[in-house]
A and B are shown apart, each in its own frame.
Chain A
Amino acid sequence: MTTAERQLLSGDDAVALAALHAGVRLGTGYPGTPSTEILETFDRLGGRAQWSPNEKVALEVALGVAFAGARTLVTMKHVGLNVAADPLFTATYTDVEGGLVIVSADDPGMASSQNEQDNRHYSRAAAIPTLEPIDSQQAYDFTFLAFEISERWKIPVLLRITTRVCHSKTIVEPRAPVSDLADPSFERKIPTRVMIPAYAKPAHHRLRAKLAEIAAWNEAEGPIRLDVGNAELGVISTGICAVHAREAAPEASHLTLGMTYPLPMERIRAFAEGVERLLVIDEGDPVLVDALRAAGIAAEGKPEMYRFGELDVARVRRILVGDTSPEPVPPKGKPPELCQGCAHREVFQALGELGCIVSGDIGCYTLGVLPPFSAMDTCVCMGASIGVGLGLRHVLPEDQARRVVSVIGDSTFVHSGLTGIAEMVYNPPATGHLVMILDNGTTAMTGLQEHPGTGRLLDHSTTNKLSFEGIARAMGVQNVQVVETTDKSVSLKDVIAELLAKPETSLLITRQPCVLAAPKIRFYDKAAAESARGQTCSADIAD
């Protein structure tokens, strides 16, 4: 991918290219479909990017970068913003010096997610200005705009994109890279960065004043597109729905909003007054239509059945005519499955044979719920396997409690499992508990990203490595055991059975590289060994 020419880019790649051109000093994030490619592409283009253990830490690191006066981009999937919500809600009270842009990649339709939450609710709840691009060109342009808004009003900005924008390729015309950004330097500004009540109270007033100014800017010169058509029907939409709507109703008048918080309510009111029927096309929750109604604008929304799943041209056509008859059910494709040779297969085989109650987690191994294994009983969010497993143990009758096992992947363990282990050590159930880390040496489900347990950075070069067994021992887990699943002299089933028989706290790590990652890991290890040898040689020569 070149960086200056007109080209065909995915929305994710367009955000990465814009981050490069806008002078981002550091990009942070945690992998999550459909956001993962942004930081990978930014790194490949020469930007400095790093994976954090989770989204909360990623946002906190980025906030530090912004306080230091440099531009920074934080990327995550929609549910990642839940994890980062704690810093988010107070970061908006602070004054950032360098632009801080948070990318939330939502997944309406749940192509690869556990829910289809609509993160536009965060815009209002956390009081963060929000931009929603319709395609890759806007993803590129709005990333630039987000940095400009962030620095002009010293406020973090949310770039909300969805699966169809992230993973669709459309044509992008890049602009000239910025070159006149100041170098980071620390300046002490206690009242705008130390959020104790004495400073946070005026900060909240400042935040509301900033939003009022941004709303006025959005009215006057915000990214709003007006297509004047006939006056019988006016459609207001945002994000990907805007192109569906323009295709489904080419004769209508269309108002496409680029910044959806704070809204340009007077522009909307003027548009509403000029049309006979006003329809709001909102994908997901009725966020936009509810905001219009709260402002006293009589707008028609979509029937409830269209809250579920993605919108497309066919569904927008149905909304236009108020069709609520059952939709055609698309034929079911072949579901994904655990790869042949994947070590997770053996684990779920053993758990199934032992009749375990399995508290599961988020990752490839969630596929253990599907036949032929059907060996998972709960899956809610990153890290929940440990807490939920402990809860089950605390109240189930003893014969059932003894069969409860928490199963979590290596990347997920680093993301949100450490506090679960603390809980297990602090509040051990009477029957004890068994946590299994299925360590395949990568963040497999999102496409083989590194994490703090792999010993490699985002660009696969070597760094420090967390030891899961060392952590568990230091935290006071009673039994800590590692099984290399390739070692056929050990029966995994027997090891699990033994640990389940003890009324003690146990951590069992099964270790075998992901079959998709293994050749790559061998390549990285070889490269690291060669580079280490090279350094020794040059040191010898220098001596």
Chain B
Amino acid sequence: MEKVKNIVIAGLGGQGVLTASDMLAEAAFRAGFDVKKSELHGMSQRGGSVSSDVRYGEQVLSPMVPAGEADVLLVLEATQIEINRPMLRTGGVLIDPGLLPEGALKNKKSLNVALLGAVSTVLDIPQEHWMAAIYANLAEKLHKVNDQAFALGREAALKGSIARHH
């Protein structure tokens, strides 16, 4: 059986962590994979730490990514990197806001989609499913700005070198 892909998305309440994990799970679903997504959101609106796990592949069992087994860790807030780093496997990829050229992001609210653009370069989900999943989770008036954000993150990741966890 193909190995399950494990992605952890983390940040603070209000940053769009859960929307980002919904988009990623939806993209993998549209690409025909079995998908499970897990989150704890009871306190998320009160500014505390939030994280969400997405797993996809031929067959996914537990919805939670075991510590040390994340292929990708996407962190939306620099202060949340260290507390989530133990989730990464050796050779796993960390994606954080430092990846984006300073001042390049027009709307701060689309940071989650910009960093999903970067994530898209290391996952085997075709681009059309990404865009459909992002649109499905946003009001139509936000589509254009998030198109740009996704492209920005994708380009930054393709140009730059993505840090691998050792």
Interface of A toward B, CB cutoff 8 Å? 7-8, 33-34, 111-113, 135, 163-164, 167-171, 240, 243-244, 246-247, 312-314, 328, 330-339, 364, 367, 447, 516
CB nearest to B77 among chain A residues = A334
- Grouping DSSP codes into helix (H, G, I), strand (E, B) and loop, the B interface class, with mixed when no group exceeds half, is mixed
Residues of A within 8 A of B64 (CB): 164, 244, 312-313
Q: How far is the CB of A285 from chain B (nearest CB, A)?
A: 21
Residues of B within 8 A of A170 (CB): 35-37, 60, 63
Q: Which of B63, B64, B86 has the most CB of A within 10 A?
A: B63
In Å, the complex CA distance between A418 and B86 comes to: 48
Do the beta carbons of B29 and A171 come within 8 Å of each other?
yes
Return the contact of A336 from the options B46, B79, B83 (Cβ within 8 A): B46
Residues of B within 8 A of A312 (CB): 62, 64, 66
Please report the total number of B residues contacting A with Cβ < 8 Å. Answer: 35
CB nearest to A333 among chain B residues = B49
Q: How far is the CB of B98 from chain A (nearest CB, A)?
A: 19
10 A-B residue pairings within 8 Å (CB atoms): A111-B40, A112-B42, A163-B40, A164-B38, A169-B25, A312-B62, A312-B64, A334-B47, A336-B48, A339-B47
Residues of A within 8 A of B49 (CB): 333-335
CB nearest to B1 among chain A residues = A250
Residues of B within 8 A of A112 (CB): 40, 42-43
Please provide the chain B residues from 72 to 112 with a CB less than 8 Å away from any CB of chain A in the complex.
79-80, 82-84, 86
Please provide the chain B residues from 27 to 42 with a CB less than 8 Å away from any CB of chain A in the complex.
29, 34-42
Return the contact of A247 from the options B25, B48, B62 (Cβ within 8 A): B62
Residue B26 is within 8 A (CB to CB) of chain A in the complex: yes
Do the beta carbons of B62 and A313 come within 8 Å of each other?
yes
Q: Which 10 A/B pairs are nearest by Cβ-Cβ distance?
A: A112-B42, A333-B49, A336-B46, A336-B48, A331-B83, A247-B61, A168-B63, A336-B43, A33-B42, A169-B37
CB nearest to B28 among chain A residues = A8
Interface of B toward A, CB cutoff 8 Å? 12-13, 22, 25-26, 29, 34-43, 45-49, 51, 60-64, 66-67, 79-80, 82-84, 86
Residues of A within 8 A of B37 (CB): 8, 168-170
Do the beta carbons of A169 and B35 come within 8 Å of each other?
yes
Extra pairs beyond A169-B35, A169-B36, A331-B83 (13, CB < 8 Å): A163-B40, A164-B64, A167-B39, A169-B22, A170-B63, A314-B66, A331-B86, A332-B83, A333-B48, A333-B49, A334-B49, A336-B13, A337-B46
In Å, the complex CA distance between A10 and B47 comes to: 23
Q: How far is the CB of B32 from chain A (nearest CB, A)?
A: 11
Q: How far is the CB of A74 from chain B (nearest CB, A)?
A: 21
Residues of A within 8 A of B42 (CB): 33-34, 111-113
In Å, the complex CA distance between A313 and B65 comes to: 8
Do the beta carbons of A367 and B66 come within 8 Å of each other?
no
Q: How far is the CB of A382 from chain B (nearest CB, A)?
A: 16
Q: How far is the CB of A318 from chain B (nearest CB, A)?
A: 11
In Å, the complex CA distance between A240 and B38 comes to: 12
Do the beta carbons of B25 and A8 come within 8 Å of each other?
yes
Do the beta carbons of B63 and A135 come within 8 Å of each other?
yes
In Å, the complex CA distance between A364 and B67 comes to: 30
In Å, the complex CA distance between A447 and B80 comes to: 24
In Å, the complex CA distance between A244 and B36 comes to: 13
Do the beta carbons of A328 and B35 come within 8 Å of each other?
no
In Å, the complex CA distance between A69 and B47 comes to: 46
Do the beta carbons of A246 and B61 come within 8 Å of each other?
yes
Residues of B within 8 A of A333 (CB): 48-49, 51, 80, 83
Residues of B within 8 A of A244 (CB): 61-62, 64
Return the contact of B35 from the options A33, A171, A246 (Cβ within 8 A): A171
